[in-house]
Amino acid sequence: MIKEVSNFVERLDDEYFIEGLSPTEGLYFYIKLDELGIEVEKKCYIVKTEKKQLKCFDEKLTEIDFPYHLLLREYYSAIINSDQNKGLDLGGSGGKKIQSANPYSVWFKKEQLEKGESVKNLNQRFSYYFNNAKKYLDTSRIAEIDNIQKFCETELLKLLVKQVSEVEKVAGARIKPTNYIKITFETDIDTVKKCYEEYLGSKLFNKSDYNLENNEYGLSGFKNSDNPKKILIMHKTTSFNINNHISRKEATNLYLFERLLKNKPNSKLPNPLPIFVDETELNSELVRLYSKEGVNKYHEIIKILINYHKRDLSNYYLLFWSKMEGWTLHDLDFVPQFRFKLEDFIMSNYFLKDSYEGRIENVFQFEYEIVQKIFSNVLIQKYEDKSSKEKKILFKYFDEIEYNSKFMTKTTHINVLKYRKSFYDFIYKSKSNAINSYMFSELMLTTIIDDIKHHNNKTGYNATDYNIKEKLNIYFSLNKNFGGEDMGSKIQPLQEKLKLLLKEPETHIETDEEFAFAAGQLVYYILYQSEASNKTHALMEPYITKNDPTLFKSTVARGIEQYKHKFLFGTKRFQKLASEVLAWETETKIKEMLPLFLAGYFSNSLLFDSSK
């Protein structure tokens, strides 16, 4: 994986790293020295915020575009993760004033120029800064850096004090003490990058104890720890301390990769991020689509790549990350074969007439149209942007999701946290065994029962009759696709058998499935008689909480007794159905028959159909 990430970064051009980035507020100086270290040219740029927009001006306060080459040099001069302990201004007392990490750049805050003691201290820090930098430099650059160091120690601060005063006079306003002053000395960009890579290579290994071959190889510090207090990550029973070394170049590329993920306000890479093994063309197309053509959704990028190459994608690592606590890697896995199209995923309308009916073509359609409904818009959240009125969607596979009774029930909240990783693996990694029959059935039943309990709820989350039947459609249509029974194929035969049972005196219930379906029809008819002001499906709860068949039938009998005044004398169809249900003997638990009970309850009631 490290090799693939390193190769991926290696093939990105400089422009990609800084695209969309902005300079920081403050003063920028670009200084050219001759071979003797004497200043021959100087340019000054002022970066400040006006009307909530960051703008760049020259010394005469003429607005200009910030020079591209300066932005690039700034990118290759930043201290690792802004950690001053990994900077170059170390040693002696009063260090960490210079906050750059390249001998061709010197950064510090303007407040360092405002007090005599601070100026004196800053001047002393140049020696430590450049001497530390020289440790990582090619000897051919030492003379040039010596000239820069000498200029900084003898001329720079005097020049800056004068220049800052002039800029403030022209601008008519003081530069904030916390703003940066960033000085860059002229050299070619390849030298700047080379020096930065040498700096990174010396600082990115986790611990120098494990370095090999003159520090050319070491223990990766990329999302890696060598904390001896964390016993579980230590190799206690092996003959080695660490099982993998990486090169300085790989360490540098991993750090640049991390910066791409952390860039604000927008990341430079899609999320999730596929990195293809030995597929340079696909990796290049991925970057081009995301950065150049503005295709910022992973789903659309994958569709374009599949349509263009006329094949499913394969052999890639998939990373899902977020900017929580800097940045967090939530999931990393290898995908040998991505299955985009789905076979035989067909939705049928068993309980509704106007919901989607037809084939689910691919995993993303399954995600948008099915998973979103299963988890009641909590895992896959569809919403309308209040300002733009644009339809948007959020994916909460790895987000913190707090329970909120206004938008979800406790059962939904638990189900999302419990099952979301399985659905992520099924959709994004094509792990067909990520969702098995037991899991799918358990999920669907708990969420359907939960919606029944919250049907027409007046406070908090409210489930409609449509919501419940829509989930039943999903359950009965797709259960077979996850290794379970073909539930949908049972409904029509059960309906036909019930018609005969209600019509012919000699026809009786013969199986537990017929009993469950008939019981659902009977309970619906009983509850229909209720005169409650808020008649809801939640009235079903006393029936479905009885797992023992005898207790269940006792509850049915009490329901009939409760509403007996509503049942007209001589209603043969009702009497036949009630007698058949109450007379059936079974040892099968009601929970095992619950799906077909619900199918009977929510199917069109044949007791109201006087024509058949």
Q: What is the pLDDT of residues 371-388, one digit of tens each?
A: 999 999 999 999 988 888
Q: Would you say residue 60 has pLDDT above 90?
A: no
Q: Would you say residue 612 has pLDDT above 60?
A: no
How far apart are alpha carbons 255 and 9 in whole angstroms? 10
How far apart are alpha carbons 430 and 335 in whole angstroms? 8
Write down the mean pLDDT value for the chain: 88
Q: Would you say residue 611 has pLDDT above 70?
A: no
Q: Would you say residue 226 has pLDDT above 70?
A: no
Q: What is the pLDDT of residues 425-457, one digit of tens each?
A: 999 999 999 999 999 999 999 999 999 999 988
Q: What is the pLDDT of residues 79-119, one digit of tens each?
A: 988 888 888 999 888 778 899 999 999 999 998 887 776 77
pTM: predicted TM-score of the whole model, two decimal places: 0.85
**Residue 590 tokens, joined:** 């009601």
**Residue 87 tokens, joined:** 């900077």
Q: What is the pLDDT of residues 169-210, one digit of tens each?
A: 887 778 889 999 999 999 999 999 999 988 888 788 776 666
Residue 228: its pLDDT value, please?
Answer: 53
| Chain centroid to CA 414 | 19
103 near 137, Cβ under 8 Å?
A: yes
Residue 322: its pLDDT value, please?
Answer: 84
216 near 208, Cβ under 8 Å?
A: no
Judge if the upstream peptide bond of residue 505 is cis by omega within 30 degrees of 0. no
Kindly give, in sequence order, each residue whose CB lies less than 8 Å from that of residue 147, ignoring residues fewer than 6 positions away: 33, 35, 36, 37
Kindly give, in sequence order, each residue whose CB lies less than 8 Å from that of residue 596, ignoring residues fewer than 6 positions away: 487, 490, 494, 513, 516, 517, 520
Best CA proximity match to 395, nearest among 418, 375, 415, 412: 375
Query: Which runs of consecutive H residues, i.e. helices, occur in 19-115?
Result: 68-75
How far apart are alpha carbons 354 and 348 in whole angstroms? 11
